[in-house]
Structure 1
Amino acid sequence: MIEQMFLGQFQSPGPVMFQVGSFALRWYGFLIASAVIIGLNLCQWLGPKRGINPDLFNDLVIWLVVAAIPSARLYYVLFEWPRYAQDWLNIFAIWQGGIAIHGALIGGSLALLLFSRRHHLSFWNLLDVLTPAVILGQAIGRWGNFFNSEAFGAPTNLPWKLYIPFANRPPDLTSYAYFHPTFLYESLWNLGVFAMLITLFFYGLRHPEKIKTGTVACAYLIGYSLGRVWIEGLRLDSLMFGPLRVAQVVSLALVLLGSIGLFWLYGLGKNLPDWSEQKLAKN
């Protein structure tokens, strides 16, 4: 199957990495765990460059995982409730896929806000360090969709078309075998955003008077979300709210939020409001 993926037909070798008896290690879980470990190491490297103790990230990653993964799953389940209403135990079958990055961002942001306040750290300084790791993790995690043969786009005959097994095709498109590999589009887009954020981060270290705290975080919101808007338009499994694709609506809101942040920093010449720094100043 691996040979098929690289030498012939572009298709998933299956969701299971390896299996021993009843124990199975799935690609989806492996990739999420890998993204967390790689992200942690990246933060521990970048943190000291912004004056943050690298050891703090060992605690922060626990906060983020505990908050982000359940939030990502809950967000997905809420919009797909009819699929789970009859068998609610499947809500916990996260290894089968079905987590939403926007849910993870909401949960993770709340956890980061509480963590920064508890440790008297700047929320925006922490977020500038975290966002390159987050977008890199998203680039890695998207490959979980590939192995699960999910989150693909409309039928296509492009040279890089992705073969989807019959059982994974939408009921009204079973006669089509090849679809847009939207997981690949987003993974590549996220790698490009990662390169931009890292460049901006290190440029800011050399020119702190030009790159203000919070700039990297705002650039993440804009860069990632712009890609998600157009890629989501190709997907067949979008979470919907009436006639609207939820991810597109949320992404446009995040583009607006990031743009307001940059205007606040450079148009108004003010620092972004920071709840944690306000508490530190009072102490």
Structure 2
Amino acid sequence: MFDKIKIAFPGLGIGRFEVDSTAFKIFGFEIQWYGVIITLGIILAVIYCSFRAKQEGIIFDHVLDITIFTVIFGVIGARLGYVLFSLDDFHSFADVINIRGGGLQIYGGIVAGAITIILVCKYKKIKPLKMLDATAPAVMIGQFVGRWGNFMNGEAHGGIVKEGSPLYFLRMELEPYYMNGRLVYDTAAVHPTFLYESLWNVLGFVLINILYKKKKFDGQILLMYISWYGFGRMFIEMLRTDSLYLGNTGIRISCLIGFLCFAAGTTLLTVFLIRERKKAELTDEDYVPAYPRLSGMNASADASADASANETAESVSSEESHSHEQGLEDKAEQSVEESTEEMTAEAQVGTDENKDEIEQKFKNIFNNDEKSE
């Protein structure tokens, strides 16, 4: 990191300008652009994460709690990741905790952050994979914004880009050009690897957001992020001049981890997608046994309904017939009673009608009743 450096992007039509790593001072205390930009990236990431978490059924209060712990332990993990592979550069505990001097390793931060999210989610009884899905694209926001902090520090760039290279138009001219802390050239055209990674994360963020609504299982977005970032970082790291190496093997740590992330992520993603597809692709044969049973049930139900309807109709008809007959009998009895009362009354008043006439009336009444029946 250098206080001031001159930068130009001739291929993009941007002339030389001076970059100062110090943003401003508060009571004589310097605030670096790196810290300001990283903070901005975290804020934007939290805003996005809260939006996605809400879709996953996670409330904002939980997102905020998770964010606080994740940022703290993520920074610690990033610092430890750098220190573990650069032990010769640290001579005391004060050197280890002095992050203002630079030295964070992104994979250490990602691993520590993921573990923190899982533990906090378990404590709050939240499904960790849902939260990790919401967090993965948010991390990409933090990465493509945060890489511009490296730009303001004049760091995380690549080696010299040769004229005729497909990436030559993106070349960044540095004045002066330092490699591993040593002055190499007064001016040099180098790979702006911070820009490559920033653009790679922007593209990945867009693609993952397009596919987010189509995810088939919890954890899919996380695996997509791991695969995407690992693949890109593996190649971009090959262009950098400040890589961390695995001992004296010449193997770049970020290249190795990037390859492992890409391999593991794509393998798991493929396995789980195939599993989900098999669940969804049920053939017609799987439903054949169910249709006859359903048809038989419907036929049985229809037959029962018809039988019930017939029984009901017969019952109603029988009741109507019985009711009609009962009505006729009641009418006949009523007619007999009325006639009897009439004749009794005539007899009591002493009419001159003889006995034969009275008997004839009785016969006529009974004959009429039989005809009416």
Q: Same fold (TM over 0.5)?
A: yes
2:275 is the alignment partner of 1:253: no
Which of 227, 231, 246 is the equivalent residue of 1:222? 227
Counterpart of 1:39 in structure 2 is 45
Whole-Å Cα distance in 2 between the matches of residues 151 and 251 of structure 1?
17
More RCO (CA 8 Å, sep 6+): 1
Confirm or deny: 8 A CA contact 2:174 2:188 kept in the other structure: yes
2:137 is the alignment partner of 1:137: no
2:240 is the alignment partner of 1:240: no
Whole-Å Cα distance in 2 between the matches of residues 115 and 139 of structure 1?
26
Whole-Å Cα distance in 2 between the matches of residues 249 and 4 of structure 1?
31
Counterpart of 2:188 in structure 1 is 177
Counterpart of 1:13 in structure 2 is 19
Structure 1-normalised TM-score? Answer: 0.85
Alpha-carbon shift at residue 174 of structure 1 (Å): 3.1
Confirm or deny: 8 A CA contact 1:5 1:13 kept in the other structure: no
Unaligned runs of 5+ residues in structure 2 are 278-373
Structure 2-normalised TM-score? Answer: 0.65
Q: Secondary structure at the match of 2:159?
A: coil
Select the structure of larger CA radius of gyration.
2
Q: Secondary structure at the match of 2:19?
A: coil
Counterpart of 2:153 in structure 1 is 148
Whole-Å Cα distance in 2 between the matches of residues 192 and 159 of structure 1?
19
Unaligned runs of 5+ residues in structure 1 are 205-210, 271-283
Which of 74, 77, 100 is the equivalent residue of 1:71? 77
Q: Which amino acid aligns with 1:111?
A: T
Whole-Å Cα distance in 1 between the matches of residues 95 and 245 of structure 2?
20
User: Are the structure 2 counterparts of residues 26 and 138 from structure 1 closer, same or farther at C-alpha, using a change threshold of 3 Å?
Assistant: same
Which of 75, 84, 98 is the equivalent residue of 2:103? 98
Residues 211-267 of structure 1 show CA distances to partners (whole Å, capped at 9, x for unaligned) of 222111111011111110110010011110121000011111111221232133122
Confirm or deny: 8 A CA contact 1:11 1:162 kept in the other structure: no
Confirm or deny: 8 A CA contact 1:35 1:141 kept in the other structure: yes
Whole-Å Cα distance in 2 between the matches of residues 99 and 46 of structure 1?
27
Q: Which amino acid aligns with 2:170?
A: W
Confirm or deny: 8 A CA contact 1:12 1:146 kept in the other structure: no
Question: What is the aligned-residue identity percentage?
Answer: 29
Which of 186, 194, 207 is the equivalent residue of 2:205? 194
Q: Which amino acid aligns with 2:54?
A: P
Whole-Å Cα distance in 2 between the matches of residues 45 and 5 of structure 1?
38
Moved over 6 A (4+): 1-4
Superposition CA RMSD, Å: 2.4
Whole-Å Cα distance in 1 between the matches of residues 72 and 229 of structure 2?
23
Alpha-carbon shift at residue 191 of structure 1 (Å): 0.5
